[in-house]
């Protein structure tokens, strides 16, 4: 499968990414890991989700998987027309969920590699170091992926959290 990158991140994309970072701050403030995601569906429908790994005691409660669960209430055509914006590049688990959901485009701010450089000490099970593009490339359908998009706020939400 060939991965598609639009190479064009718009002002609107950046605005939605800033909203994803604001959601990450909400997650952090309530005691969860600082990740947020949203799905923008044509017709001005927006579905938002926060990380809930700690507060719901769910290791799969990443912002993107929570979002995919919520978006699953819509039909496939609606999801495939949507754009998923996330504060940080989806992990391998989340990328798999995004793939299976049928979502057509993913835009992320902080890269998986950038996050790894900020995490000083891993607790519990170490993360899979597998960029989302590699996961998507193994699938049978194209997903447009744009990122990382350099936002100071996307780095700031992680500062001091992982140490």
pTM above 0.85, yes or no: yes
- Inter-residue contact 149 to 110 (CB < 8 Å): no
Query: Given 29, 48, 64, 120, which residue is catalytic?
Result: 64
- What pLDDT digit, counting tens, does each position of 16-42 carry? 999 999 999 999 999 999 999 999 999
Whether 64 sits among the annotated catalytic residues: the reply is yes
- Do residues 91 and 127 touch, judged by C-beta distance below 8 A? yes
Vertex 96, ends 93 and 97: CA angle to 5°?
A: 90
pLDDT digit string (tens) for 93-152? 999 999 999 999 999 999 999 998 888 666 666 777 889 999 999 999 999 999 999 999
């Amino acid at each position: 499968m060939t991965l598609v990158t639009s190479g064009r991140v718009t002002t609107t994309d950046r605005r939605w990414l800033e909203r994803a970072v604001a959601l990450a701050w909400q997650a952090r403030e309530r005691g969860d890991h600082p990740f947020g995601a949203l799905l923008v569906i044509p017709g001005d429908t927006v579905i938002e989700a926060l990380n809930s790994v700690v507060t719901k005691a769910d290791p799969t409660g990443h912002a993107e998987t929570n979002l995919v669960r919520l978006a699953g209430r819509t039909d496939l055509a609606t999801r495939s027309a949507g754009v998923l914006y996330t504060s940080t590049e989806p992990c391998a688990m989340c990328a798999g969920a995004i793939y299976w959901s049928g979502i057509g485009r993913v835009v992320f701010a902080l890269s998986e590699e950038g996050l790894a450089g900020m995490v000083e000490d891993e607790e519990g099970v170490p993360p899979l170091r597998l960029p989302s593009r590699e996961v998507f490339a193994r699938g049978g359908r194209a997903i447009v992926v744009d990122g990382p998009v350099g936002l100071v706020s996307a780095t700031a939400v992680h500062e001091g959290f992982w140490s």
